[in-house]
Amino acid sequence: MTMENNLNQKHTLSVLVDNEPGVLSRVTGLFSGRGFNIESLCVAETMDPQVSRITLVTRGSEQIVEQITKQLNKLINVIKVIDFTGTEFVEREMALIKVRAEASTRAEILRTVDIFRCKVVDVSLQDYTIEVTGTAGKIEALLTLLSHLGIKEIARTGAIALGRSKKEGPLKREGVKE
């Protein structure tokens, strides 16, 4: 009777933890010590200053992710673990992209920024710095378009996520796209 399934599905986990020194290293140490992988990780305080939210993206079979969730729950400083996979949730990443902006390309960059509904947050004679938020897919698409213009540097966050609120009646979801 062995464990079946080797599906390597992506899972976005939201982990509420005590906002204390050393907690992040308990969480990451668990992943490295047990050979689980972390694709990205974001941490910040919640509304309650004693609680932080870690949003963590990992990959693994059903059984591995079940172990990850249980092992996280076993840490004394972990208050709650939510696996968003298979539920309705909103997920966003952010990137800052410094792209070479010459006279000949400035207009094209601004047009692209417009299409992607992102912002130029810093300007110099040589380059633009663009701020973009969205799904990983959107950020990848923007990077592809900008890459031939010459990307100098990027800084990217991991994903953050929240579960969607229940919608009443036939109301349409607005403003957010997956």
Partner 1 sequence: MKLSGAEIVVESLIQEGVKFVFGYPGAVITDIYDCLEKRPVRHVLVRHEQGAVHMADGYARASGQVGVCLVTSGPGATNTVTGIASAYMDSIPIVVFTGQVPTELIGNDAFQEVDIVGITRPCTKHNYLVKRVEDLARVIKEAFYLARSGRPGPILVDLPKDVLKAQTEFKYPKKVELKSYRPTYNAHPGQIEKAAALLQKARKPVIYAGGGALASRCSPEIRTLAEALSIPVTSTLMGLGCFPGTHPLSLGMLGMHGTYWANMAVGHCDVLIAVGARFDDRVTGNVERFAPEARIIHIDIDPTSIRKSVNVEVPIVGDCKDALTKLNQRIQQWAAQDWSKMRQPWLETIREWQTSHPLTYRQEGEEIKPQFVVEKIYEVTRGQAIITTEVGQNQMWAAQFYKFDRPHSFITSGGLGVMGYGFPAAIGAQIACPERMVIDIAGDGSIQMNIQEMATAVANNVPVKIAILNNGYLGMVRQVQELFYGKRYAQTALSGNPDFVKLAEAYGAVGLRASRPEEVVPVIKKALSIPRTVIMDFVVCAEECVSPMVPAGAAMTEMLLVS
Region near partner 1 per CB under 8 A, out of 41-49, 62-70, 93-101, 133-141:
62-70
Q: Nearest Cα to 54, choosing from 88, 4, 20?
A: 20
Choices 64-72, 96-104, 111-119, 128-136 (CB under 8 A): range interacting with partner 1:
64-72
φ, ψ at 78 (rounded to 5°): -90, 125
Contact track, partner 1, 74-103, x by CB under 8 A: x-xxxxx-----------------------
Could you give the angle at the alpha carbon of 22 between the alpha carbons of 16 and 26, nearest 5°? 65
119 in Cβ contact with 128 (< 8 Å):
no
Strand arrangement, sheet containing 9-18:
40-45, 51-60, 9-18, 78-83
CA atoms within 13 A on the CB side of 128: 22
Under the binding rule (CB under 8 A), the answer on residue 73 touching partner 1 is yes
Nearest to partner 1 of 64, 101 (CB atom): 64
Q: Which is nearer to partner 1, 1 or 171 (CB)?
A: 1
Q: Does 46 bind partner 1 (CB under 8 A)?
A: no
Residues of this chain that interact with partner 1 (CB under 8 A) are 1-4, 17-18, 22, 25-26, 29-30, 33, 63, 66-67, 70-71, 73-74, 76-80
